[in-house]
Amino acid sequence: MRHPVFSVLLAFTFPLAAGYAADTAPSAPVPSAAMPAPAPAPPAVPGVQKSVFGTTADGTEVDMYTLTNHHGFTAKIITYGATIAALDVPDRDGKTVSVVKGAATLAAYLRGFSNPAAASIMGRVANRISGAKFTLDGKEYVLADNAGGNSIHGGKVGYDKKVWTAEVPDSPDGPAVKLTYVSKDGEEGFPGTLTSSLTYTMTETNALRLGYVSTTDKPTLVNLLSHAYFNLAGTGDISAHEVMINADLQTIMGPNGLVTGEIGPVKDTPVDFRTAITMSKAAARLAPGGRFDHSFIINRAQGDTGMALAASVYDPASGRSMEVWTTQPGVQLYTIQFGAAPGRGRGGRGPGGAGGHANDFYCFETQHFPDAIHHENFPSIVLRPGETAASTTEYRFSVRPAAAVTAN
């Protein structure tokens, strides 16, 4: 029986031309009162700066592109994994810190910091594919089993471990870099040569925009996402941070982190984030040592494939606030085990690869639904020749005054 939201979800079947159009639309303006000047020394240089970040074992150069807008917001993007190495955002006093986990050297990424504790791009199919195989047009394709009998984040050597090519495009909205990776036919078991580009833009409205575009020469699958690990305080426990997810529905989770294909309400469940709640109170709903790793269906009007609010997070101590807007149909909240020992558990490393507190990050992964190829009621992730898979996500930043009311 067709679920009532099925007609809405069908709007997200490829091609996503409407989503690509949104990539060129400006971000919603942030009030000037919410834009304090960054720390004055040293002054940020607006524009794009290129530098060498390191060299891989085979001699491939990895570059860093530093994107700085006129308000002192800076994104540092490296070509290894198309990774956000740093995202510098000022607080209510003008103090600037990076709000994403990143490493200071390429060696740290190559040692394994890039998976899963870095803001890299996952693909060609992020999240899980059950059974590590799928059938497309009557042919079965076998993938790498790298997640307990399933395939996750594109396989053993996914997009997060590739060196992307880079160019600096003309951009009216702020400094930008365009990264491209060509995945050959058969790579990690997937059919077709898939060409994907990702344009990072540090907009003058203080948003980091990610614009994805993919094309293929054979029918294939694609679901790209950024696995950015955020902490609006920069470092430290995020228990007091307030999270809201704009979703009345979720994709129901079964065993082994796999979705069942069912769609259900978040109301009266541990994953009800419709009203902002501190992470400590949200974690108290979980079993001891539990974590959030749940996929949500973003609230939208029927047929709307434009930019929509997916989630928001606020750090009362610094005043930093972030809204996540996207053209994608879903967002996954990911944390690690609450209450785990410092530096322990998946993703338990701090910036620079050092041991960090286990409760010090949250991910908002904008994407199509997990394991979509095995659930016909989910928006399709099949891409065919002549089609374009395109989407846009923005991380929009502002600062609240100290007197702002916090979540209950």
Q: What are phi and psi of 126, to 5 degrees?
A: -75, 165
Q: How many CB atoms lie within 10 A of CB 169?
A: 11
Q: What are phi and psi of 50, to 5 degrees?
A: -110, 140
Element (H, E) at 17: helix 17-22
| Among 346, 383, 384, 393, residue whose Cα is nearest residue 125 | 383
| Residues 6+ away with beta carbon under 8 Å from 321 | 34, 232, 312, 313, 314, 315, 397, 398, 399, 400
| Among 170, 207, 165, residue whose Cα is nearest residue 75 | 207
Alpha-carbon distance of 163 to 203, in angstroms, equals 25
| Residues 6+ away with beta carbon under 8 Å from 281 | 407
| Residues 6+ away with beta carbon under 8 Å from 79 | 53, 62, 63, 64, 65, 163, 164, 165, 166, 179
Q: What are phi and psi of 44, to 5 degrees?
A: -75, 145
CB distance 101 to 349 below 8 Å? yes
Active-site residues, by number, are 227, 365
228-to-67, 153, 364 alpha-carbon distances in Å: 17, 14, 8
Q: What are phi and psi of 287, to 5 degrees?
A: -65, 155
Catalogue the E-assigned strands of 105-219.
Answer: 121-122, 128-129, 133-136, 139-142, 151-152, 165-167, 176-183, 194-202, 207-216
* The pair of three-digit structure tokens given for residue 88, joined into one six-digit string: 């510098």
Whether the ω angle into residue 116 lies within 30 degrees of 0, i.e. cis, is: yes
